[in-house]
Amino acid sequence: MSTSFVIFLTTMSLMSYSITTRAYAPDMDIIEVIDPYGKMVDGMTQRERAAKIDAYFAQWNLPLAGYGMTFVQAADQYEHIDWRLLAAIGMRESTGCKFAFAQNNCFGWGRRVTFSSKEEAIYRITAHLAGEIPSTAYYYAGKDTQGILRRYNSVIPTYTKEIFTIMDRIENMPVEQSRFLAAQ
């Protein structure tokens, strides 16, 4: 009688943003490996982009530090949404959620709109900005980043420029490279 079994080994590292799952079977090689690095954008993995967002907020000990991967994964669902966009809006609107408008609303979305968590806010608002929510698709669908920002805040003339400046600061944020080498 032959007995077969499969062993699943999952390794998680929150600091390096990697989740790797490998399935092993007796006398077999690895059956499945889930890519821990995610989609490449601007020559960076999800992990690298998330680390830049987190480092940007962490330098001032702001509440949005630690949500970098959520921002990146939400943006990566839509081809035309820049991975830095909502993080930059969060910095401009509420100083990285230090002065939130309402419960978990770090982005000035509807001013008094509440969310059950910051993750929910990030995913829902990103979907709105992508034009995926029917009630706001008229304003955001088919727009590039500049067009999205003009609709998001049409009152402050310098708003778009301010957001692009923050986006550049996030992208240019230095991140310790040894953090990535250890997980590879």
Is 177 part of any domain?
Answer: no
> Within this chain, do residues 60 and 139 fall inside the same structural domain, yes or no?
yes
| Number of domains the chain is built from | 2
> Within this chain, do residues 111 and 53 fall inside the same structural domain, yes or no?
yes
Is 117 part of any domain?
Answer: yes
* Residue listed under structure tokens 């890519």: 35
User: pTM of whole model > 0.75?
Assistant: yes
pLDDT bin (cut points 50, 70, 90) of residue 175 is confident
At a CB cut-off of 8 Å and minimum separation 6, what does 75 contact? 81, 82, 83, 85, 86, 126
> Within this chain, do residues 127 and 167 fall inside the same structural domain, yes or no?
yes
DSSP string, 125-165: HHHHHTT-SHHHHHHHTT--HHHHHHHH--SSTTHHHHHHH
Phi, psi for 41 (deg, rounded to 5): -140, 135
Say yes or no to pLDDT of 121 above 60.
yes
> Within this chain, do residues 130 and 59 fall inside the same structural domain, yes or no?
yes
Q: What is the pLDDT of residue 70?
A: 97
> Within this chain, do residues 29 and 64 fall inside the same structural domain, yes or no?
no
> Within this chain, do residues 79 and 119 fall inside the same structural domain, yes or no?
yes
* CATH number of the domain enclosing 81: 1.10.530.10
> Within this chain, do residues 27 and 112 fall inside the same structural domain, yes or no?
no
At a CB cut-off of 8 Å and minimum separation 6, what does 165 contact? none
> Within this chain, do residues 23 and 52 fall inside the same structural domain, yes or no?
no
* Percent of the residues in the chain that have a pLDDT greater than 90, as a whole number: 70
Q: What domain range includes position 127?
A: 46-171
* Residue listed under structure tokens 């310790």: 176
> Within this chain, do residues 22 and 82 fall inside the same structural domain, yes or no?
no
> Within this chain, do residues 147 and 63 fall inside the same structural domain, yes or no?
yes
> Within this chain, do residues 111 and 164 fall inside the same structural domain, yes or no?
yes
